[in-house]
Amino acid sequence: MDRKLLDILVCPLCKSPLIYDKPRAELICRADRLAFPVRDDIPVMLEDEARELSSEETDALYK
């Protein structure tokens, strides 16, 4: 994923910065506890496509 694109992308819901999880090909919003998929290097920034993060996944983000 292009670093410049990552620098300008924000969560479509709360406008928080996103974290790229390369192994899972997801963009993570800590504030909303959502993971947006990245398909073929294209971020899918739709709320309906996002999955909720489990409490374990959220806790791991803060370590």
Over residues 23-60, the pLDDT tens digits come to 999 999 999 999 999 999 899 999 999 999 998 888 88
Residue 63 has a pLDDT of 67
DSSP line for 6-24: HHH-B-TTT--B-EEETTT
Count of residues making up the chain: 63
In this prediction, residue 3 has a pLDDT band, given cuts at 50, 70 and 90, of confident
Q: Domains in the chain and their CATH numbers?
A: 3-61 (2.20.25.10)
CA 16, CA 29: separation in Å to the nearest integer? 7
Listed in sequence order, the residues at least 6 apart from 43 whose beta carbon sits closer than 8 Å to its beta carbon are 1, 5, 9, 27, 36, 37
| Residue 2 banded pLDDT, cuts 50, 70, 90 | confident
pLDDT of residue 5: 87
